[in-house]
Amino acid sequence: MTLDPHRPRFHLVADGWMNDPKPFYWNGEYHLFFQHVPGDPKPGAMCWGHAVSRDLLRWEMLPVALSPTPGSIDAAGCWTGSVIRGPKQFHLFYTAISQFAPLRQTQAVATSDDLVHWTKSPQPVIAEPPPGFGECFRDPQVWREGDAYYMLIGSEQPGGAGGAALLYRSDDLASWRYLHPLFLGTPATGFDFECPDFFPLGDRHVFLSSRGLNYWQTGRYADHRFTPQMTGVVDGGRYYAGKTTLDDRGRRLLFGWIREPRTTAQVRAGGWCGTQALARSLEIRPDGSLGMQPVDELKSLRRSHHHIGPAAFGTLGDGVALLPLEGIRGESLDIELKMFCGTASRVGLLLRASPDLRISTPALLRVNEGMLGDAPLRLGAEEALELRVVVDRSVIEVCANGRAALTLRTYPPEGCDRIALFAQGGEARLISCDAWTLE
């Protein structure tokens, strides 16, 4: 299993299946709970896996925090939720699945003194959805506000009209009263809100949800109602179920599940399926949109450095131009790159490329369409494209201009460790590239 050349080195991986993260910062440690099927690399009866880290890079796997109890409300799975510190204990709220067809979801709680050993309450804390909403009723997120606790549950409006974020209130974390929707979505962010997350950031509030893609909405929060003002895509690639935690440096840190595109036979051979993205630090940008950057901790893994200065692309014909980034090689890299897109209609990087560049994984900006994968990124007239690219074997995470991201997977044959710049349909120019191997 450990010989799998595609298994990432500093992205969290577990033996078996993993999906949705549920991060929780406490007392100098980042706890990352995640959906998990131990020992089996395909989805099944979901458990809560648990890993802990002090630097967001080196993770120690802890015992499975929750697993389904036969004959109980979570017999078919312990699905996504969130962790909060209560007056005396930690409380873990999750969606208990008693059966799949039809899907039977209730909201449940477990408590702990140490975040490692959890005791489930046998009865749900919320047994039924309020009337008037669709099938989705899951992924509770809990926070404290004033002298009360609030819970959001992801749901949907009937007829595909969009997601619904259902708001509950409690004084004691035990008995919960339904208030009203925090807000109702539109079809533009999917028909339901999986894995909702809601938090203050800068002078706004941010709502995250997933359906097809992972979306953000920023806006105003007053009288327990949210009014979105801007909407965007968290990541235009294989990234889902983003959720956040706040650390003691005041950083709002985003975690996300990176999906695995390999076949069942391939993941069986490897023994693992899915990984967790590097933590990204979030901010509200001057225009009110959501910005993100990989956390600074990553720089501690940087080893040998290579710099390339301004350069023009060579022409290949058919309007395609390439610029091999000579001297930068590796399966684990951290790259900071600046280029002018000029008149090109498509620009980007060919990553994990073979020496002759015939095999590669492209991370491309469609300049004319203003799209980085499935995420919008429109550059200003004089604005350079600024990429931060992290390569960790089969995982590639790209952040562009601090405001768009693209996560890719790649499974190249041995020896694919080169990088080149790519431009099509016009002239582009490299301003600078700094790259470090990561250890």
Least Å distance, CB 247 to ligand DQQ, is 24
Least Å distance, CB 203 to ligand DQQ, is 30
Phi then psi for 153, rounded to 5 degrees?
-120, 135
Which residues from 128-147 bind ligand DQQ, rule CB under 6 A?
138-139
Interface mask toward ligand DQQ for 249-268; x: CB under 6 A = --------------------
Residue nearest to ligand DQQ (CB): 79
Give dist(CA 146, CA 217) in Å, integer. Answer: 23
Secondary element (H or E) of residue 183: strand 177-184
Place of tokens 């004691």: 172
Residue 1 to residues 129, 269, 348, 388: CA-CA distances in angstroms? 43, 7, 33, 30
Query: Across the strands, what pairs with 92?
Result: 83, 110
Least Å distance, CB 321 to ligand DQQ, is 40
Among 194, 260, 334, 397, binds ligand DQQ (CB under 6 A): 194
Q: Which of 338, 371, 347, 385 is nearest to 237 (CA)?
A: 371
Q: Is 417 in the site for ligand DQQ (CB under 6 A)?
A: no
Counted residue by residue, the chain has a size of 439
CB nearer ligand DQQ, residue 125 or residue 430: 125
* Whether the Cβ atoms of residue 181 and residue 189 lie closer than 8 Å to each other: no
Q: Is 276 in the site for ligand DQQ (CB under 6 A)?
A: no
CA atoms within 13 A on the CB side of 375: 32
User: How many of the other CB atoms lie within 10 Å of CB of 22?
Assistant: 28
Give dist(CA 3, CA 6) in Å, integer. Answer: 9
Least Å distance, CB 240 to ligand DQQ, is 6
Q: Is 361 in the site for ligand DQQ (CB under 6 A)?
A: no
CB nearer ligand DQQ, residue 19 or residue 141: 19
Q: Is 428 in the site for ligand DQQ (CB under 6 A)?
A: no
CB nearer ligand DQQ, residue 139 or residue 417: 139
Helices (H) and strands (E) in the chain, counts: 1, 36
Least Å distance, CB 136 to ligand DQQ, is 7
Among 10, 19, 190, 392, binds ligand DQQ (CB under 6 A): 19
Which residues from 67-126 bind ligand DQQ, rule CB under 6 A?
79-80, 95
CA atoms within 13 A on the CB side of 44: 12
Joined together, the tokens standing for residue 83 give 């962790």
Q: How many residues bind ligand DQQ (CB under 6 A)?
A: 13
Least Å distance, CB 235 to ligand DQQ, is 14
Q: Is 20 in the site for ligand DQQ (CB under 6 A)?
A: yes
Least Å distance, CB 128 to ligand DQQ, is 18
* Whether the Cβ atoms of residue 371 and residue 405 lie closer than 8 Å to each other: no
Q: Is 195 in the site for ligand DQQ (CB under 6 A)?
A: yes
Q: Is 218 in the site for ligand DQQ (CB under 6 A)?
A: no
Phi then psi for 265, rounded to 5 degrees?
-60, -40
Query: Given its phi and psi angles, is residue 266 left (phi above 0), alpha (psi -120 to 50 degrees) or beta?
Result: alpha
Least Å distance, CB 20 to ligand DQQ, is 5
Give dist(CA 110, CA 227) in Å, integer. Answer: 32
CB nearer ligand DQQ, residue 138 or residue 403: 138
Burial 283-299 (b: 16+ CB within 10 A, else e): bbeeeebbbbebbebbe
* Whether the Cβ atoms of residue 118 and residue 111 lie closer than 8 Å to each other: yes
Q: Is 14 in the site for ligand DQQ (CB under 6 A)?
A: no
* Whether the Cβ atoms of residue 134 and residue 157 lie closer than 8 Å to each other: yes
Least Å distance, CB 371 to ligand DQQ, is 24
CB nearer ligand DQQ, residue 96 or residue 365: 96
CB nearer ligand DQQ, residue 139 or residue 334: 139
CB nearer ligand DQQ, residue 35 or residue 424: 35
Joined together, the tokens standing for residue 159 give 């007829």
Q: Which of 435, 426, 372 is nearest to 404 (CA)?
A: 372
Among 24, 35, 297, 416, binds ligand DQQ (CB under 6 A): 35
CB nearer ligand DQQ, residue 93 or residue 118: 93
Catalytic pick from 20, 139, 197, 334?
Answer: 20
Q: Is 20 a catalytic residue?
A: yes
CB nearer ligand DQQ, residue 20 or residue 331: 20
Q: Is 32 in the site for ligand DQQ (CB under 6 A)?
A: no
Note the residues at the interface with ligand DQQ (CB under 6 A). Answer: 19-20, 35, 46, 79-80, 95, 138-139, 194-195, 240-241
Residues annotated catalytic, as ranges: 20
